Structure 1
Amino acid sequence: MNVHLKLVQLRKKIRGNKKKVTSAIIANHSAEMCIICGSQEQLTREHVIPQWVYNRCAKRTFETTTNGIYQTYNKTTLPACKDCNSNLLGYLERHLKHEFERVDVSHEEFSQDTLELIVLWLEILEYKFQVLDLRRSLNKVNGADYIPFIGKMPIAMFQGPVDTSPAKVFSNLRSALHVLSVKSKVDRLNSLCIIHTKNKNFHFFHSTNNFIFIELAEFGVAFFYFYKQTFEDYSLTTKSAMEIVQDHYA
């Protein structure tokens, strides 16, 4: 079975269950159910960032943008049923990993088909981070004292340049899951920047509902994706992405 038939199954699952899934997550942020289809059977732990991306290094950590604390990628997981995790999402990742191994972006370009799959993969990461932000409680806002009153409020309420209302957070979550059920990503390709990298280490940073950057040092490629912003010309995408990347690395 090829990757496109797997994605047909994935889209069907999402379309048939997205209301149930988002309603359950909104009602109980820690609900033990598959974040893709809502099943409570054969639950597994889906890594928010796939383990192969960082060579399964259990010590690799990332900083949470609001809490200002570190947690390991290895222990950052969400519930997903065996079928969604291994059979569907896992199949997509294995297919893309093969493409990353096969294509040297310093000499050639990914096909449009592969670019659309990369966009979908990055949108899946965005959705998983939105769910994760709902499940994590706020410890503190960077540079501020801990306030017990807001300590149990989800991090998602405090993401972005302006504090986000619960209604907006939940709307973003519904939209993020719906996006995964959209078949064609052609109109999103100018929001994706492909970067040839010579860095030796995996790197990742992310701004909820805004952009995502992931550097796959093993494959010599990095991806910067503007989650909602669109550009008329790819050169504008590249310019905007590189300004953010350079600022982050500075």
Structure 2
Amino acid sequence: MSLNKKLIEFRKKIRKNQKNIIDSIIDDHSTNICIFCGKADDLTKEHVIPQWVYDRCTKRNFVTTTNKTSQTYNKTTVPACKDCNNSILGELERYLKHRFNDIDLLEEYFTDSDIEKIILWLETLEYKLQVLDLRRNLNKVKGSEYIPYIGKIPIAMFQGPMDQSPSKVFSNLRNSLKTLSVKSKVYKRNSLCVLHTKNPDFYFFHSTNNFIFIELAQYNVAFFYFYKEEFNSAMEAASKAKKIVKNEYASAVT
């Protein structure tokens, strides 16, 4: 089956099961079902950030800004069935890796079809990250005292404004999954910034429901994507993205 046909089936499965999936996650944040189709059997561990992105280095880790704790990428997983993980999303990633390897941004650019698949891939990362934050408890902020009641609250409840309610967190999750069922990403193309990079290392940062930046050093390409914000032009998005990236890199070295 071709990738496009697999993606059609993927969207159909999400549309059919999205209510049950989100209801199950809300009822039990650690529910053991496929987070894409709701199946409870043939489950696998889907890496939130694919292993090929960081060259399968088991020492790679990221720090959650909410509680300042670190976690290795290779152990950061969510449940997904074999079909969604290996067959559908695995095929999408294999296609993208092939395109990343073939395209030299100094000489050519991705096709419209490529761009829409890149956007879909970045949107799956956002959804997985939101699910992950519901499955992980705050525990305690590094350097501070553990408070039992607060420590048992999911990290997701502390993302965003202080007055963000659980209903808003669940609404974001619901919309994030629904977005994956939308075929056309035309209206979001200006929200994706594609950058040629010479940096020698992988880099990643993310703001829930806002944006993601992921730098793939092995392919000399980086992507900045605004999940919700839309722009009249790609230049407008690039200008805003560059400011955010500059601030992030500056804070990382201080």
TM over 0.5: yes
Counterpart secondary structure, 2:204: strand
Check conservation: 1:66, 1:140, Cα contact below 8 A: no
Segments of 4+ in structure 1 off by > 6 A? none
Structure 2 match to 1:182 = 182
Give unmatched runs, 5+ long, in structure 1: none
Check conservation: 1:191, 1:237, Cα contact below 8 A: yes
Structure 1 match to 2:69 = 69
Give the distance between the partners of 2:133 and 2:142, measured in 1 at CA: 16
Check conservation: 2:192, 2:226, Cα contact below 8 A: yes
Report the Cα offset of residue 148 of structure 1: 2.0
Report the Cα offset of residue 12 of structure 1: 0.7
Report the Cα offset of residue 105 of structure 1: 1.2
Check conservation: 1:35, 1:80, Cα contact below 8 A: yes
1:62-109, Cα deviation, whole Å (9 max, x unpaired): 011211111000000011111110011111011111100010112211
Written as runs of structure 1 = structure 2, the 5 A alignment for 1:33-44 is 33-44=33-44
Give the distance between the partners of 1:159 and 1:246, measured in 2 at CA: 22
Give the distance between the partners of 1:112 and 1:243, measured in 2 at CA: 26
The sequence identity of aligned pairs, in percent, is 62
Check conservation: 1:63, 1:71, Cα contact below 8 A: yes
Give the distance between the partners of 1:142 and 1:236, measured in 2 at CA: 37
Give the distance between the partners of 1:36 and 1:78, measured in 2 at CA: 10
Structure 1 match to 2:170 = 170
Give the distance between the partners of 1:73 and 1:163, measured in 2 at CA: 30
Aligned pair in 2 of structure 1 residues 185, 232: CA closer, same or farther (>3 Å)? same
TM-score normalised according to structure 2 size: 0.96
Measured on the aligned residues, the alpha-carbon RMSD in Å equals: 1.1
1:196-222, Cα deviation, whole Å (9 max, x unpaired): 100011110000000000000000000
| Aligned residue pair count | 250
Report the Cα offset of residue 142 of structure 1: 6.6
Counterpart secondary structure, 2:75: coil
Greater displacement, 148-157 / 125-134: 148-157
Give unmatched runs, 5+ long, in structure 2: none
**What one-letter code is carried by the residue in structure 2 that aligns with 1:175?**
N
Written as runs of structure 1 = structure 2, the 5 A alignment for 1:150-161 is 150-161=150-161
Written as runs of structure 1 = structure 2, the 5 A alignment for 1:193-204 is 193-204=193-204
